[in-house]
């Protein structure tokens, strides 16, 4: 089985990219407990960070966002242009003319 953070968008059904608002994170590590391949709680700062490229299936992303007590988690669509580290859009996305 492929770990989510090792998978490419094509290998995850309906993938999204997770984002953490570090100012809103209150620690506790619910995200890490739910998705240990995607989140890591820093032992010193007690703030969560994204591991790898932060890709999750939308269904799982919605669950972890909903359970974050700090409302610190969100996600962006793959290829939305809002992603950090985006190398380019997927073929066909954003072609509106
Ligand atoms: S679940 Fe939310 S508040 Fe808790 S560590 Fe993760 S990002 Fe921070």
Instruction: Spell out the domains of the chain, with CATH numbers in brackets.
Output: 15-77 (3.30.70.20)
Region label for 46, one of left (φ > 0), alpha (ψ between -120 and 50) or beta (otherwise): left
Position in ligand 1 atom list of the atom nearest CA 70: 3
Position in ligand 1 atom list of the atom nearest CA 39: 6
**pLDDT tens digit sequence for 6-21:** 677 767 889 999 999 9
CA of 38 to the centre of ligand 1 (A): 12
CA of 73 to the centre of ligand 1 (A): 7
Cα distance from N-terminal residue to C-terminal residue, the chain: 40
Cβ neighbours for 66, distance < 8 A, ≥ 6 positions apart: none
Cβ neighbours for 36, distance < 8 A, ≥ 6 positions apart: none
pTM attached to this predicted model: 0.77
**pLDDT tens digit sequence for 44-84:** 999 999 999 999 999 999 999 999 999 999 999 987 666 55
């Amino acid at each position: 089985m492929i770990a989510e953070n090792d998978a490419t968008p094509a290998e995850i059904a309906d993938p999204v990219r997770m984002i953490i608002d570090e100012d809103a994170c209150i620690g506790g590590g619910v995200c890490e407990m739910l998705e240990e391949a995607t989140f890591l709680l820093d032992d010193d700062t007690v703030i969560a960070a994204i591991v790898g490229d932060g890709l999750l299936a939308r269904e799982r992303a919605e669950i972890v966002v909903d359970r974050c007590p700090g409302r610190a988690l969100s996600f962006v669509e793959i290829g939305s242009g809002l992603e950090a580290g985006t190398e380019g859009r997927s073929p066909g996305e954003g072609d509106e003319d």
